[in-house]
Amino acid sequence: MRRHSEGLAIGVDIGGTCVKLGLVRGRRVLRQFSFETKKVPGKEKLIGAVSAGVRELLRGVPGPLRGVGVGIPGLVLYPEGVVRSCVNLPGWRNVPLRGILSKELRLPIRVDNDVNVMALAEWRLGAGRGAENLVCLTLGTGVGGAIIAEGRLVRGWLGSAGEIGHMPIAERGPRCSCGGTACLERTVGNREILRWVKGRLRAGVKSRMIGLIGGDLRQLTPEVIDRACEQSDPLARAAWSRVGSSVGLALVSVVNLLAPERIVVGGGIAKAGRWLFEPMRKTVKDRVMKGLKGVKVVPALLGTSAGLVGAALLLQEED
């Protein structure tokens, strides 16, 4: 019999910016393509484009196919595959995506939240391998989280578990789109990081970043902060240190609550590497309960392919 990891499946990674589709075997993406989400406005068009893309990939598939797995940045009821809501995709309310795609494609379909899907990939094939208790965190425009406890993905009531980005990290602070106040995401989301650095630069703090962006603050990106860090720029290092400490503080609660043995951190912001990981690890180590100081905070391994690989892996999960 074939080993599970050798099966072929199609992974679909629906994002606010682009939609990726790939033919996947294990952690390898054999063939893939993508299109911009804004080119297919409205949910009917987007679903139609996904179906057409899957049919395209099905041509000349070398062997039996397990089915199609979809990751989407929203609250998803699993296993029903109903997308309850989706922040980046207007009009997506209670969309029975699994049912629609099953009918159109006549293949086994699974639909889950994008961070759950990434966590599944890192757990089975990446930085989380071998851990029975694991938490995954993605740092980008938003802050996402997913929980694997005692060997299974925890989706929670209404599919809403793992929203680490919406844990409050202070009593008072800015309002958040989720309805909460002082959410982690409102301090360490991409936009907030840039806003903080720009505020310092406008206040006259000297930094190599000014030179790197030719004095034009609109050119500031997380990559510019990374480059300035490499040049020992104090403000750039302070920016990542602030983010690392805030994320670390949220992780202290996560560790004390769930006792994961490993925390996998991915997403665009995680590219800051040690400038971010050192303060994050230090905060966790200093403040977590004594018995849990052995928890490891590690970078994700699979990078941008985690979405496709994890979506394909959904076909190997129990329904």
Contact residues for Zn ion, defined by CB under 5 A:
166, 176, 178, 180, 183
Of 186 and 281, which CB lies nearer to Zn ion in the complex structure? 186
Both tokens of residue 298?
Answer: 């590690």
Residue 198 C-beta: closest distance to Zn ion, Å: 22
Residue 82 C-beta: closest distance to Zn ion, Å: 22
Residue 299 C-beta: closest distance to Zn ion, Å: 24
Residue 253 C-beta: closest distance to Zn ion, Å: 15
User: How does DSSP assign the chain, residue by residue?
Assistant: ---GGG-EEEEEEE-SSEEEEEEEETTEEEEEEEEEGGGS-SHHHHHHHHHHHHHHHHTT-SS-EEEEEEEESEEEETTTTEEEEETTSTT-EEE-HHHHHHHHH-S-EEEEEHHHHHHHHHHHHSTTTT-SSEEEEEESSSEEEEEEETTEEE--GGG-TT-GGGSB-SSS--B-TTS-BSBTHHHHSHHHHHHHHHHHHHTT---HHHHHTTT-GGG--HHHHHHHHHTT-HHHHHHHHHHHHHHHHHHHHHHHHH--SEEEEESGGGGGTHHHHHHHHHHHHHHS-GGGTT-EEEE-SSGGGHHHHHHHHGGGS--
Of 39 and 175, which CB lies nearer to Zn ion in the complex structure? 175
Residues 265 and 34: their CA atoms lie apart, in Å, by 25
Q: How many CB atoms lie within 10 A of CB 97?
A: 24
Of 187 and 241, which CB lies nearer to Zn ion in the complex structure? 187
Of 183 and 306, which CB lies nearer to Zn ion in the complex structure? 183
Of 176 and 292, which CB lies nearer to Zn ion in the complex structure? 176
Residue 141 C-beta: closest distance to Zn ion, Å: 13
Residue 69 C-beta: closest distance to Zn ion, Å: 27
Of 122 and 185, which CB lies nearer to Zn ion in the complex structure? 185
Backbone angles phi, psi at 140, to 5 degrees: -160, -140
Residue 177 C-beta: closest distance to Zn ion, Å: 6
Residue 166 C-beta: closest distance to Zn ion, Å: 4
Of 99 and 168, which CB lies nearer to Zn ion in the complex structure? 168
Partnered with residue 29 across adjacent β-strands are 24
Residue 191 C-beta: closest distance to Zn ion, Å: 14
Q: 77: which residues sit within 8 A by CB, 6+ positions away?
A: 84, 158, 159
Of 110 and 166, which CB lies nearer to Zn ion in the complex structure? 166
Of 170 and 178, which CB lies nearer to Zn ion in the complex structure? 178
Q: How many angstroms separate the first and last alpha carbons of the chain?
A: 21
Both tokens of residue 71?
Answer: 């990751």
